[in-house]
Amino acid sequence: MTITSLATAMLFGGGLYLFMNLGSIAKTVTEDYAARTLGVDVTIGRMDVSLQNRTVDVSNIRIYNPDGYKGAHAVVVDSVTVQAGSLGSELLEFKTVDVSGANVYLEITPSGVNLTDIRKNLNEKVGAKPSEGEKAVKVILDKLILNGTVHTDITFLDKTYDPFALPPIHLSDIGRSENGVLVGAAISEVWKVISRETIRSANKYGFLAGLDVNILKESGMSDVTIVKDNIDHQVDKIKNSIKGLLE
């Protein structure tokens, strides 16, 4: 039985079969969809389901780096709690997705940036071509909250960077206006924001000072945002210098 066949089978019956078998089936399906969308290996440690509460608890998610990077992972997530809405054979509705303990590993080498390389290879069409006789499954994600920590490694600079808290990421209404988007499109939208905000935050901390500005542009940041963040960083440095003189 193919992965797509498994997905169709588990969605049969308005979502009841999905919830009863998430622990044994959906883990494999989710890993497959995520890996094909991101273009890198994705593993999930565990999925626990509460049919009564219509929740899914996921732990130990690992998104691996593309080839050519020193670190093994781009992102490691401790836990994700999902509150589901309606679950049909063609549309899955998720009310909230709460991502906790996300560790994002930003690695910059002379030839590229790991998070941006994944962004460049996103496949938003994953899920669009099911096997014959099967239907494409779409999703709606009403609200996602992600909290985490960024670990920065610029491999060609002899410098150590302290981890810093990633400003909370809030996303809403993914697929709502379209009455559902493909799984690949939903995952892609989330990844674009994670990669952009991670690189933007590292830049605001001054970690990327002096590096090629294309690193910022390729992450999805606009010229206006880049200029504003760099000005804000310089203002913060001046404020801290003045504060130090007065203490």
Residues in CB range of 241: below 8 A, 6 or more apart: none
Tell me what pLDDT residue 216 has.
61
For 163-191, b/e burial (b = at least 16 CB within 10 A) is eeebeebebeebbeeeebbbbbbbbbbbb
Q: Note whether 77 and 99 are within 8 A (CB).
A: yes
Q: How far apart are the first and last CA of the chain?
A: 69
**Nearest to residue 231, comparing CAs of 198, 216, 209?**
209
Q: Residue 173 has what pLDDT?
A: 97
Rg (CA), the chain: 20
Of 94, 97, 98, 99, nearest in space to 137 by CA: 94
Q: For the chain, give every domain's residue range.
A: 3-246
pLDDT score at 105: 98
Task: Quote the pTM value.
Answer: 0.80
E strand or H helix that includes residue 190: helix 183-204
Residues of the chain with pLDDT under 50: 1, 6-19, 221-246
pLDDT value at position 237? 42
Residue 140 forms beta bridges with which residues? 93
